[in-house]
Amino acid sequence: MHDLLMRRAEVVTRVAALGAKGRVALRPGREADIIRRLLRRHQGPLPNRVLPRIWRELFAATTSMQGPYSVTVCEVEPGSGYVALAREHFGMATPLRSHRSPAQSIGEVSRGSAIAAVLPMPAEDEAASAAWWTALLQRDEPRIHIVARLPFWSPRAEGAPQVRALVVAAVAPDASQRDRSLIGLEMPPEMSRARLATALADAGFSMGGAILRRSPYDTTLALIDVDGYVTDADPRLLALGLARPPVVLGAYAVPVDGES
């Protein structure tokens, strides 16, 4: 096993030498598919939950060999679990910094001082300062995308962090075999949730959750979770008929839910 790890490290080193300078070496979709494949073929008494834990450490180690690799976390309340969740996903040896606001964490990704940021899952009743997804509607450069959802596997072991989070990075998400996408919309204030659901269905989207927020400019902002991998070029977005084109904020591999 150790010999194989050393050989893998040599291959990663050669691949990194051929890569483009400044490229963000983050492939959450590909990593998700690897873990899914491992779980499908696994058998025997070794618990399923061990496989993601081992491979997440390998992913972190090999990714860090390809360039600067640090992660920032928004943990408004110390000990709330987001730092522990980031450690679980990005590896115990990965440099990690925590901030009290999502804007600070996103700022590190924008400046290139962190490869990714772990942010609390958006909620309907959160304060305006916590609604970090609304900033992604502006398409500022570098473009920040949602690329993963945490935790990726369940059930959760006793003592494991129970919070949920999204990961953002300055790179477009890579598709996996099963994804969901997050779309940001700016709508007329009179558009109800029911009308929105109908419009999405008519355009060909299968909607999951939706978060609506009234903006200071007499419009309603919406964060929509839909089935599948969606890009900015998807013709269904224009079929919604909104004055301002929808913004694809990113996508994530659907977490696995298996036996422990």
Candidates 3.30.70.260, 3.40.50.720, 3.20.20.10, 3.30.43.10; CATH matching 179-251:
3.30.70.260
pLDDT tens for each residue of 190-248: 888 899 999 999 999 999 999 999 887 788 999 999 999 999 999 999 999 888 899 99
| Whole-prediction pTM | 0.93
If pLDDT is split at 50, 70 and 90, which confidence band does 22 have?
low
User: What CATH number should be reported for the domain whose range is 30-177?
Assistant: 3.40.190.10
Q: What's the distance, CA 58 to chain centroid?
A: 19
The CA radius of gyration of the chain, in Å to the nearest whole number, is 19
Element (H, E) at 93: none
pLDDT tens for each residue of 109-126: 999 999 999 999 999 989
The torsion defined by the Cα of 193, 194, 196 and 202, in degrees rounded to 10, comes to: 160
The whole-angstrom separation of Cα 49 and Cα 29 is: 19
Residue 207: exposure state from Cβ atoms within 10 A (0-12, 13-18, ≥19): middle
Q: What are phi and psi of 11, to 5 degrees?
A: -65, -45
Contact 151, 90 (CB under 8 A): no
pLDDT of residue 215: 80
Q: What's the distance, CA 13 to chain centroid?
A: 26
Average pLDDT estimate for 30-34: 96
- Is pLDDT of 187 > 80? yes
Residue 151, preceding peptide bond in cis (omega within 30° of 0): yes
Query: What residue segments make up the domains of the chain, in order of their start?
Result: 30-177, 179-251
If pLDDT is split at 50, 70 and 90, which confidence band does 259 have?
low
The whole-angstrom separation of Cα 210 and Cα 248 is: 14
pLDDT of residue 260: 44
CA dist 208 to 31, 101, 120, 183, 227, Å? 24, 27, 18, 11, 7
- Is pLDDT of 163 > 80? yes
pLDDT of residue 181: 98
- On average, the pLDDT of the chain sits at 91
Q: Which residues have C-beta within 8 Å of that of residue 239, sequence separation ≥ 6?
A: 202, 203, 204
- The pairs formed by 32-41 with CB atoms below 8 angstroms and a separation of 24 or more are 32/148, 32/152, 32/176, 32/253, 33/176, 33/177, 33/253, 35/152, 35/153, 35/256, 36/176, 36/177, 36/178, 36/256, 39/256, 39/258
